[in-house]
Homo-oligomer: A and B are copies of this chain.
Amino acid sequence: MNMVYFNKNSIEKLDKIYRLNLINSCTGFKSANLLGTIDSKGNKNLAIFSSITHLGSDPALLCFILRPMTEFRNTYDNIKETGFFTVNHVNEDDIEDAHHTSAKYSKEISEFDKTNLEEEFIGGFLAPYVKSSKVKLGCKYINEYNINENGTILVIASIEELHIEDGVLKEDGWIKLDEIGTVTINGLDAYMKTEFIERFDYARPKLEGGD
């Protein structure tokens, strides 16, 4: 096949928007989650993140990357202030509103008021969940690492609680995400739905001479 080729020099010389689109889409698909936070005065915030990543299962940990001085400043400040946040899967029906949460609103304005996404407080958990979300995680801030290479921060958090729509949790603990319409992000601004292809067993080496 014919390939388009870029090297480090040609990437650096690209127009900024072109480079943003290219580098944001070349690493593959990303998770689509809304982070819900609240400050100590009760101001709520909701923001879409595409970098939430599984870090470990025992203890149950996740991580995400954040640029502190961007439109996601409110999320970071609220997490540092209260210690808690929610992670809510984005459904196919909610993509337009979910994407709109990346607009830069001041701290006093809640994205729950500017979109059709509804806040939901569950049990005693401090931070607001997204009502329509079918997989929701209640998380606690644990630590952060400054990434010196570009001034980003890697936030580490524990999963304190987990809410999953009844019926989609399989016998072995797997959540089949295509069944509940969780979307995935391709690049900066494109949303994709998914369709199950196959699930495989734990991979073991192939032995020579049959087994």
Residues of B near A163 (CB, < 8 A) are 3-5
Q: How far is the CB of A113 from chain B (nearest CB, A)?
A: 10
Q: How far is the CB of A159 from chain B (nearest CB, A)?
A: 7
Residues of B near A17 (CB, < 8 A) are 172-173
Contact flag A195-B195 (CB < 8 Å), given A22-B162, A161-B5, A184-B28 = yes
* A62 in the interface (beta carbon within 8 A): yes
Q: Are A18 and B203 in touch, CB under 8 angstroms?
A: no
Query: Which of B56, B60, B103, B183 interacts with A204 by CB under 8 Å?
Result: B103
* A40 in the interface (beta carbon within 8 A): no
Taking CB atoms and an 8 Å cut-off, the chain A residues in 1-49 that contact chain B are 1-8, 11-12, 14-33
27 contacts between A and B (CB under 8 A): A6-B164, A20-B57, A21-B173, A23-B60, A24-B57, A25-B176, A26-B162, A27-B52, A27-B53, A27-B87, A28-B33, A28-B177, A29-B182, A30-B53, A51-B53, A56-B152, A63-B147, A92-B197, A96-B198, A104-B205, A147-B156, A149-B156, A175-B186, A190-B196, A192-B196, A193-B195, A195-B195
Residues of B near A109 (CB, < 8 A) are 205
Q: Are B59 and A150 in touch, CB under 8 angstroms?
A: yes
A22 to B174, CA, bound (A): 5
A54 to B65, CA, bound (A): 9
Contact flag A148-B143 (CB < 8 Å), given A30-B54, A54-B30, A172-B17 = yes
Extra inter-chain contacts (4) besides given A18-B172, A186-B196, CB under 8 Å: A19-B58, A22-B173, A29-B31, A103-B204
Q: Are A27 and B20 in touch, CB under 8 angstroms?
A: no
Taking CB atoms and an 8 Å cut-off, the chain A residues in 77-118 that contact chain B are 87, 89, 92, 95-96, 99-105, 109, 114
A101 to B206, CA, bound (A): 11
Q: How far is the CB of A132 from chain B (nearest CB, A)?
A: 9
Query: Which of B135, B150, B156, B193 interacts with A56 by CB under 8 Å?
Result: B150
Residues of B near A191 (CB, < 8 A) are 197-200
